[in-house]
Amino acid sequence: MRKIDWYIFKQFLSTFIYSLILLTLISTVIDISEHTDDFAKSGLSTEEIFMQYYVGFIPHIVAMLFPLFVFISVIFFTSKMANRSEFVAILSSGVSLNRILRPYWIGGIFLGMILWLANDYVIPKANAIRTSFEARYTKSVLPNDASTGAIYMRTDSFSYAGMRYYDTTSKAGGNFFMETLKGNEVIHNLRADNITWDTAKKVWKLTGVVERKLNGMQEQVSFNYEVFRKLSFDPSDLKRDEYMQARLISPELRKRIAKERLRGSETVKELEMENAHRLATPFAVILLTIIGAILACRKIRGGSGVHLATGIIICAVFILADRFSTIFSTKGDLNPYLAAWIPNILFSAVTIYLYRKAPK
């Protein structure tokens, strides 16, 4: 990198850090005003609220608005350079647009990698702090929220299990069944009136158990009042946690996706969407960096105001495209990984179009 590259790169990072701090402070102040009553009811001190909530909230809001922060930063400092006719001088000296975009590519890739690593390991831990506080102090819980209703799942490649109801508070359920298949035939069948998690032994306690083992025309039946059995699932697998996908680091999230896909769970699409977004969003940072540079490097009447207005419109369209694709995936049949990348695909075409139209 030459002096002009370092100059643009430093302008990029300094403007990004400034906008990051400013917009994060604004978001935090707005959040404080919205949750003042909840904080007062919690009875916690200011230090406890900060450590138990804002330590998780600030990384969450930064990650959520990270592409917007980058885009606004690029538009702002590039537009200022264009208004000072710096790009006119650079282009007049024989430097091509491709060469000018080099520090933008480097800056976009650098920030995209930071977001990628943060999404994989840092943000999930921050979300665990934030969501635990919200679930305890800011979310209204209805009396029947503890009951998950009927549960049916696939426990491994050959076995299926289910229960008529399950209570997450007492970790107990009723009318439990489990079947193991070999080909199209059932070779093992288990029924229990009740199933309860034994916290001391870390196993399930089954009561009123009827167990059948089948081998062709032969059947072996056993009756037991109480049986302790280690099964392939535990209470955490049965709890329907709306924050689960946000709390898991990426290696754990991928393992969870494989487990839920095996069980045929309804939540697998939400988990896959979260996993896809963690890679798609950093790529969006790179795209928005290049789009912002191409848009703002031209000196136009109206200056930075026009550039910022155009940038905000583009960001709004990007967010809308992302929301629509997410809804079509979680509520419809659209593949989650395709849904996460649709905005990037559309804006890749926009980037190519703007580059071709830009003066070289």
Contact (Cβ atoms closer than 8 angstroms) between residue 151 and residue 238: yes
> Over the stretch 292-350, which tens digit does the pLDDT of each residue have?
998 888 776 656 677 777 777 887 888 888 888 888 887 778 889 999 999 999 999 98
H helices, E strands: number in the chain: 14, 7
For residue 152, CA distances in Å to 160, 191, 269 come to 8, 14, 17
Beta bridge partners of 161: 153, 178
Q: Which residues of 44-77 are buried (b: 16+ CB within 10 A; e: fewer)?
A: beeeebeebbbebbbbbbbbebbbbbbbbbbbbb
d(CA 273, CA 270): 5
Nearest to 358 by CA among 291, 278, 309, 268: 291
Q: What is the largest CA-CA distance in the chain?
A: 91
Q: Which residues of 140-171 are buried (b: 16+ CB within 10 A; e: fewer)?
A: eeeeeeeebeebebbbeeebbbbbeebebeeb
d(CA 94, CA 108): 24
Nearest to 118 by CA among 9, 250, 272, 10: 250
Contact (Cβ atoms closer than 8 angstroms) between residue 173 and residue 195: yes
Q: What angle do CA 183, 187, 190 make, to 5 degrees?
A: 130
Q: Report the interhelical angle of 250-263 vs 268-296 (nearest 10°).
A: 140
Query: What is the sign, positive or negative, of the torsion defined by CA atoms of 245, 247, 253, 258?
Result: negative
Contact (Cβ atoms closer than 8 angstroms) between residue 263 and residue 154: yes
123 burial class (0-12, 13-18, 19+ CB within 10 angstroms)?
Answer: buried
Structure tokens at 129: 């702090």
Per-residue model confidence as pLDDT tens for the chain (360 residues): 788 889 999 999 999 999 899 989 999 999 999 888 888 888 889 999 999 999 999 999 999 989 988 998 999 899 888 888 888 888 788 888 888 899 999 999 999 999 999 999 999 999 989 988 887 787 544 344 445 567 888 887 788 898 988 887 788 889 999 999 988 888 999 999 999 999 888 999 999 999 999 888 888 999 999 999 998 888 877 776 667 788 889 999 998 888 888 777 767 888 899 999 999 999 999 999 999 998 888 776 656 677 777 777 887 888 888 888 888 887 778 889 999 999 999 999 988 988 888 766
DSSP letters spanning 197-216: EETTTTEEEEEEEEEEEEET
Helix, strand, coil distribution of the chain in percent, nearest 5: 65, 20, 20
The count of other CB atoms within 10 Å of the CB of residue 339 is: 24
Give the β-pairing of 151-154 and 172-182: unpaired
Q: Which residue has the tokens 């702002």?
A: 76
Q: How high is the pLDDT of residue 167?
A: 80
d(CA 328, CA 190): 39
Nearest to 307 by CA among 88, 67, 87, 75: 75
DSSP letters spanning 170-206: TTEEEEEEEEEEETTEEEEEEEEEEEEEETTTTEEEE
d(CA 324, CA 212): 49
